[in-house]
Structure 1
Amino acid sequence: MEADTILRTDGLTKDFRGFRAVDGVGLTVRRGTVHALIGPNGAGKTTCFNLLTKFLPPSDGSITYKGRDITGMKPADVARLGLVRSFQISAVFGQMSVMENIRIALQRRRGHSYDFWRPQRLLEALDGEALALAESVGLAGFAATPAAQLSYGRKRALELATTLALDPEMLLLDEPMAGMGREDVERTTELIRSIARNRTILMVEHNLSVVATLSHRITVLARGKVLAEGDYATVSADPRVVEAYIGGGGHG
């Protein structure tokens, strides 16, 4: 495995009762990059993410993370190695404040239970780190605000903060811009650019302008297979990619 490769799949395949959702996917993600996984509806992107984070077992193929075969591992064990999927594992409680949500996530990283019964002063010892995380996602001014009162975009930022509390080396973002208006998209794009400075990011995203702005490399899936790969200029000019999106990509 090359020194600059952090995640790699070989022949990754997933069958569902005769339907092949992911078909022999070979993916190589370089350390320190933002790598996008794109494709029309039904291309197998979400199934791929579920395989990588071990929410689904593959039918065939292998997954290697930092030189270690993680194909047969459990989701929690993969997360402990530093490969974390955002917006799936997040601990966000609507009635709790932004600070309280982040503090709970920091407790998870320590590997203990949620410590609800611990003395308040011990929990407050995490406040400095929690506030720094809130600031890092643009929520410093909302530290005391209950999560339920946040706008949709800021809720997603809080979810990202709780994921960052686990201190992942590699972050998988599953459609981080889904449901956002333009202002939230712009804010979240800058947020992802900021957190990518010292992490590797693999993201599934439908907003192609976001993909063009953030990604170093893009893998295009269609009908479960890798259709094309390269930078945005390369894949957007590929007639097979254009056809997959406009002509025969399929939906659902």
Structure 2
Amino acid sequence: MDIILETRALTKEFKGFVAVNKVDLQVRRGTIHALIGPNGAGKTTCFNLLTKFITPTSGQILFNGTDITHEKPAHIARRGIIRSFQISAVFPHLTVLENVRVALQRKLGTSFHFWKPERSLYGLNDRAMELLREVDLDRYADLATHELSYGRKRALEIATTLAMEPELMLLDEPTQGMGLEDVERVQHLIKKVSANRTILMVEHNMSVVSSIADTITVLQRGAKLAEGPYAEVSRNPDVIEAYMGSASTELQGAH
């Protein structure tokens, strides 16, 4: 069971336009696997297929050897495939601790027990603090979330995702829109939380990809163009041509 997630000829068409074209993907357990490619390559569509936000036109998705192609998003999440934005920190006026506690409630299935007194949730505080320590946010536990920097809000999203006990974490552009300091913080964080988990991520920042990804799959026009470790993929002539110009320079420069 080295392969935790596999797709076989995964395809998605939108009114004649092929967004994902017969993609074969194998994600090894315990690794960080990055999906990269130029704009319009099909990366986000591929993510949406894996989490069943959209339905494949054809092909298969297997998780731990089980065909999940036709399962609903809630079933996928219960199996342990959690996408970062699904449990994102969307409560800016709650404290950092309270946001993680809400995510822990979701895992317990008690999210809608509003009639329970707040003190009934205090039993979740220890686990919430453990998760905050894991993402280096424990000293901000009592801070209102809207006061966090953008990078630390993304770290909080990772903490709330971890609260769902994912077996496979899907991170969609985890460093998008960040300054250098926040990028380095979140890059370190992803590496840290990957210790006992599998991570599949879409990421544009080639410096991040080159630093932490074990395997890279390059998509172009919805199809798989290349796959392998960064050192190999970054020298692939087809990949360099696909990125072109400044992007290909960035691809080489991050090595």
Q: TM-score, normalised by structure 2?
A: 0.94
Cα distance in 1 for partners of 2:118, 2:200 equals: 37
Aligned to 1:134: 132
* Aligned-partner SS, 1:13: strand
* Aligned-partner SS, 1:154: helix
Cα distance in 2 for partners of 1:46, 1:109 equals: 26
Contact map agreement 2:135 2:155 (CA 8 A) in 1: yes
Aligned to 1:156: 154
Q: Which amino acid aligns with 2:92?
A: G
Q: 1:83 deviation in Å? A: 0.6
Q: Confirm whether residue 15 of structure 1 aligns to residue 29 of structure 2.
A: no
- Give deviations 1:205-246, integer Å, cap 9, x for gaps: 000010000111000000000000000011000000000000
Aligned to 2:23: 25
Aligned to 1:206: 204
Aligned to 2:34: 36
Within a 5 Å distance, the mapping from 1:104-183 to structure 2 comes to 104-183=102-181
Aligned to 1:239: 237
- Give deviations 1:77-118, integer Å, cap 9, x for gaps: 101000110123324301100011100000000123343321
Q: TM-score, normalised by structure 1?
A: 0.95
Q: Which amino acid aligns with 2:117?
A: P
Q: 1:119 deviation in Å? A: 2.1
Q: Identity over the aligned pairs, expressed in percent?
A: 60
Aligned to 1:65: 63
Unaligned runs of 5+ in 2: 248-255
Aligned to 2:74: 76
Cα distance in 2 for partners of 1:115, 1:245 equals: 50
Q: Which of residues 95, 98, 108 is equivalent to 1:97?
A: 95
Aligned to 1:226: 224
Q: 1:164 deviation in Å? A: 0.5
Q: Which amino acid aligns with 1:155?
A: K
Cα distance in 1 for partners of 2:109, 2:168 equals: 19
Comparing 113-122 with 184-193, greater Cα deviation is found at: 113-122
Contact map agreement 2:89 2:156 (CA 8 A) in 1: no
Cα distance in 1 for partners of 2:96, 2:29 equals: 31
* Aligned-partner SS, 1:126: helix
Comparing 51-60 with 117-126, greater Cα deviation is found at: 117-126
Contact map agreement 2:100 2:163 (CA 8 A) in 1: yes
Cα distance in 2 for partners of 1:132, 1:118 equals: 24
Contact map agreement 2:87 2:103 (CA 8 A) in 1: no
Unaligned runs of 5+ in 1: none
* Aligned-partner SS, 1:221: strand
Cα distance in 2 for partners of 1:160, 1:63 equals: 24
